Amino acid sequence: MGPRGVGWAQTGVMAEVQRFEVGGVSLAVRVWTCSHPVQRGVVLLPGTGLTAGDWDVVAQDLSQDRNVYAVDLRGHGESDWPGTYSIELMASDVEGLLSQLGEELDLLGHSLGGLVACRVAARGNGIRNVVLEDVGLIRPRRPLMPSRPRTELPFDWSMVEQVRPEIDAPTPDWADVLRRIAVPVLAIGGGPRSFVPQEWVADLVRTVPSGSLTTIDTGHEIHATRPTEFLAAVRRFLDVSGSQAP
């Protein structure tokens, strides 16, 4: 299990931390409950090594008119650190969470969280729209395992050791996964300053049945470095998609 006492920065509106038991793993979720009735909520999935608190600015803005659920993926933050990790296991965890939330939901994932979101959305799960932050159609690349930092980490380093090879040498089904996403997808690319090849992001958009692409030239951490522009793009997409929903 993850270490207790790992804190999240508070930037204004307080979120309630709730725990959800999913398939033997306990997930910690920061929940912002909108003060008035809403049509649907949004689930936020962070990137590798990041926790739910990384979404605070985005979540507080979206919670003006949505219920917001920011998730610590397994092996991160206050969720369990079971020692066994894969993108598929993380996707199964999120599916278990969605089944307990009991409302219509949009899904927003950054980096690793975006790959998890793709597998979740490909299986339906009642998702209405998907936003992918700097996520591409992954393909084999030169493996380069980073060195473990010497400082205390808010995530299980063995998660990196197990998941990074999946991204460096992905299974051949990723294009099929994307083709099975039957809902609208917005990909937000970080532009040439990102380490993610932007042609991979464009390939993802061409592969999903209903995809659109916008670029915010700031690098991989778009929501953190350009939150105003990021939120504007997310809101344009989700608000229009919501107004067109049956």
Q: Rounded mean pLDDT of the chain?
A: 92
Q: Which two tokens stand for residue 167?
A: 């991204």
Rg (CA), the chain: 17
**Stronger pLDDT, 90 or 8, i.e. the higher one:** 90
pLDDT digits (tens, 9 = 90+) for 122-167: 999 999 999 999 999 999 999 888 899 999 999 999 999 999 999 9
- pTM value is 0.92
CATH class of 16-244: alpha beta
Q: What one-character-per-residue DSSP string does 62-74 give?
A: HTTTS-EEEE--T
Contact 125, 98 (CB under 8 A): yes
At 1, the pLDDT band (50, 70, 90 cuts) reads very low
